Amino acid sequence: MLQQQYIKDDNGKNLAVIIPMKKYNRMIEKLEDKDDVKLFDKAKNRKLEFLDAEDVFAEIEQNRKNA
């Protein structure tokens, strides 16, 4: 069970919640994992484009010179 405390305004409206750091960190990890899965699914469904390695290296070198 999630232990939480609420910070309320003068009218009793919830403004914020306080949760233990361990639970907060676990929630953040799960959200990041979910984002990673979304990015993977998006990348998996993209059309693949293959380039010659020499062309890619030439473009990288050109970008380095222009930087």
Number of H-type helices and E-type strands within the chain: 2, 2
Tell me the pLDDT of the chain (67 aa) as tens digits. 678 999 999 999 999 999 999 999 999 999 999 999 999 999 888 888 889 999 999 999 999 998 7
Residue 47 confidence (pLDDT)? 86
Q: Check residue 12 and report its DSSP letter.
A: S
Q: Report pLDDT for 59.
A: 93
pLDDT of residue 49: 86
Q: What is the pLDDT of residue 3?
A: 84
Separation CA 64–CA 67 (nearest Å): 5
Sort residue 7 into left (φ over 0), alpha (ψ -120 to 50) or beta.
beta
> What integer pLDDT is reported at residue 39 of this predicted model?
92
